[in-house]
Chain A
Amino acid sequence: MPVPLQATGTATPTGTAANGTAGAAPPSAPLADAISGLLGGGLLGDVVGALLGAFLIANLMLIMTAVAGPWAKRKITAAFTDRIAVNRIGPFGLLIIVADAVRLLSKELVIPDGADRPAFDIAPIVLPFSALLGFAVIPMGNGIHLADPETGLVFAFAASSIASLGLIMAGYASNNKYSLLGGLRSIAQNLAYEIPLVITAASVVIFTGTLQMSGIVAQQTETLINVGGIRIPQWFAFVNPFAFVLFLAANMAEIGRNPFDIPEAPTEIVAGYQTEYGSVYFVLFYLGEFIHIFLGGAIMATLFLGGPAGPILPGFLWFIIKIWAFFLFTQWARSAIPRVRIDQLIEIGWKGMLVLSFANLVLTAIIVGVIA
């Protein structure tokens, strides 16, 4: 969890302040420090600050997921399919979230006979846990940044890949062949696409020279070019669009979304690793999947879209807009793109994406070496 490496209390929030130099800003924990500063500092203040900060960010993410899952997903899918979806309960149908929550939580928790008990119960917790853990290091603008270690990027990736452990636990512990198939597929998929993902991120690091998230964001606030009075910032999506597209594809595969949603291909293996889960566990899986989508969007926004940067509106709002844009993109892809077969998926991962991401890395290294 977030531990400020400096002296407590007065670390400066380094969110959107243009820092200029391609170097490591001192690691800090802006949000935690801000809260603990309010409480007067000291060890108690730090601990309470850290916990409260984590609580706030987790709640924020969960609220967004709650809106995205039962409500936004249905509305967006309905728009793509010429329908009107949830519109009866509450204004714009928003109370469907409450209705869905009550409905799902009131269902009977069925434990299949022969399920591997501790693993069966822990798996649904691991999935959202890993995603929320990743959110600890994402800079969200306006000082809302829970921790800023020097190796923030690596931490984000590491946290989100704990999810694979959860999936394989769910797949195996369910005592169900469909779940096993789903779990194995998901592990194969995660392994195949993890490396291109990280290597493409590494190409961004070559640009910035730092793994610290705030540093990466700060780098992107510089100007790329000036087009007719409009200043275009140095977002890495503009600098290296090839890497952006590659990262987008690898991200879709990591979070298990069309066209790579094989682990839970409903028409083939019923529900994959989620088959045997009902009630609370299902809610956890469902939410966990959406938090992962938002985490993927957040990492992409931080790395390629300048994080919480944008004109007029406060940075935090831009951040929310960017991760919702990513969510919309996944829903769009879900409506229109078919699913690839597992062997084609692995082939694309190991033969296609890996080669391309290495090529991208070399290219970036050359460019940086030549320019700088």
Chain B
Amino acid sequence: MIGLLKGMATTMKHALDGKTFTVEYPDVAPEVSPRFRGVHKFSQERCIWCRQCENVCPNDTIQIVQDDQRNGEQYNLHIGQCIYCRLCEEVCPVDAILLTQNFEFTADTKDDFVYNKEQLKNVPWYKDIDPLASREPDRGAWIGEGEGEVDYQ
């Protein structure tokens, strides 16, 4: 019996102290950490069309079309299919594709989620936060030496 009453007392305490854990979204914007992986932003100016992002994507979500002179024509990314693993940003040597913190995106059909170059360029920064700044410290943390031969390809 005592255990029961203790349990009831605990819940009543929670009821009476009036603190809530939930936030009233969308009136109150939730806190998003600077490293949050949201929608991608692509910059054609920086891209060197090396196709590493397309190569590394686990999902085949990125599609790049080049003409026969290896000029980049299309860069399509299906943000509905993407699993937001950030491998494309990681392997990109020039930071041409980044993941912003923007998580609020909508479309009417699933096909509308295939973003081309233009749409990817126009993805807004979430609250004007530059995500690269949050990754800056990693440039200071070095990739160390290992025991095996250095074998970069």
Return A319 CB to nearest CB of chain B, in Å. 24
Inter-chain contact A80/B24, CB cutoff 8 Å: no
Inter-chain contact A337/B7, CB cutoff 8 Å: yes
Inter-chain contact B12/A82, CB cutoff 8 Å: no
Inter-chain contact A336/B24, CB cutoff 8 Å: no
Inter-chain contact B21/A335, CB cutoff 8 Å: no
Inter-chain contact A84/B8, CB cutoff 8 Å: no
Asked whether any CB of chain A lies closer than 8 Å to the CB of B19, the reply is yes
Task: Give the CA-CA distance A78 to B8 in the complex, in Å.
Answer: 15
Inter-chain contact A82/B21, CB cutoff 8 Å: yes
Task: Give the CA-CA distance A337 to B8 in the complex, in Å.
Answer: 7
Question: B14: which A residues are within 8 A, CB to CB?
Answer: 79-82
Question: B15: which A residues are within 8 A, CB to CB?
Answer: 76, 79-80, 332
Question: A337: which B residues are within 8 A, CB to CB?
Answer: 4, 7-8
Inter-chain contact B7/A83, CB cutoff 8 Å: no
**CB neighbors of A among B1-49 (8 A):** 4, 7-8, 10-12, 14-15, 19-22, 24
Task: Give the CA-CA distance A78 to B12 in the complex, in Å.
Answer: 12
Inter-chain contact B19/A336, CB cutoff 8 Å: no
Inter-chain contact A84/B22, CB cutoff 8 Å: yes
Size of chain A's interface in residues, with CB distance under 8 A? 14
Asked whether any CB of chain B lies closer than 8 Å to the CB of A102, the reply is no
Q: Which of A81, A83, A333 contacts B8 (CB 8 A)?
A: A333
Classify the secondary structure of B's interface with A: helix
Inter-chain contact A332/B24, CB cutoff 8 Å: no
Question: A84: which B residues are within 8 A, CB to CB?
Answer: 20, 22, 24
Return A75 CB to nearest CB of chain B, in Å. 10
Name which residue of chain A comes closest to B12, CB basis: A332
Question: B12: which A residues are within 8 A, CB to CB?
Answer: 80, 332
Question: A335: which B residues are within 8 A, CB to CB?
Answer: 11
Task: Give the CA-CA distance A81 to B12 in the complex, in Å.
Answer: 10
Task: Give the CA-CA distance A79 to B22 in the complex, in Å.
Answer: 11
Inter-chain contact A82/B19, CB cutoff 8 Å: yes
Task: Give the CA-CA distance A39 to B66 in the complex, in Å.
Answer: 91
**CB neighbors of B among A74-94 (8 A):** 76, 78-84, 87
Inter-chain contact B11/A83, CB cutoff 8 Å: no
Name which residue of chain B comes closest to A79, CB basis: B15
Give A328-364 as 1s and 0s: 1 = Cβ < 8 Å from B's Cβ atoms. Answer: 0000110111000000000000000000000000000
Inter-chain contact A336/B11, CB cutoff 8 Å: yes
Task: Give the CA-CA distance A336 to B15 in the complex, in Å.
Answer: 12
Question: A336: which B residues are within 8 A, CB to CB?
Answer: 4, 7-8, 10-11
Question: B8: which A residues are within 8 A, CB to CB?
Answer: 332-333, 336-337
Question: B10: which A residues are within 8 A, CB to CB?
Answer: 336
Question: A82: which B residues are within 8 A, CB to CB?
Answer: 14, 19-22
Name which residue of chain A comes closest to B5, CB basis: A336
Task: Give the CA-CA distance A82 to B10 in the complex, in Å.
Answer: 12
Question: A79: which B residues are within 8 A, CB to CB?
Answer: 14-15
Task: Give the CA-CA distance A78 to B10 in the complex, in Å.
Answer: 14
Inter-chain contact B21/A80, CB cutoff 8 Å: no
Give A52-81 as 1s and 0s: 1 = Cβ < 8 Å from B's Cβ atoms. Answer: 000000000000000000000000101111
Identify which of B8, B11, B24 gathers the most chain A CB atoms within 10 Å of its CB.
B11
Name which residue of chain B comes closest to A76, CB basis: B15
Return B89 CB to nearest CB of chain A, in Å. 36
Return B72 CB to nearest CB of chain A, in Å. 47
Task: Give the CA-CA distance A28 to B33 in the complex, in Å.
Answer: 70
Residues of chain A whose beta carbon lies under 8 Å from any beta carbon of chain B: 76, 78-84, 87, 332-333, 335-337
Q: Can you list 17 residue pairs at the A/B interface with Cβ under 8 Å?
A: A76-B15, A78-B20, A79-B14, A80-B11, A82-B14, A82-B19, A82-B20, A83-B21, A87-B24, A336-B4, A336-B7, A336-B8, A336-B10, A336-B11, A337-B4, A337-B7, A337-B8
The 4 nearest A-B residue pairs measured at CB = A79-B15, A336-B11, A336-B8, A82-B21
Known: A80-B14, A84-B24. 12 other contacts (CB 8 A): A80-B11, A80-B15, A81-B14, A82-B19, A82-B20, A82-B22, A83-B20, A83-B22, A84-B20, A87-B24, A332-B11, A337-B8
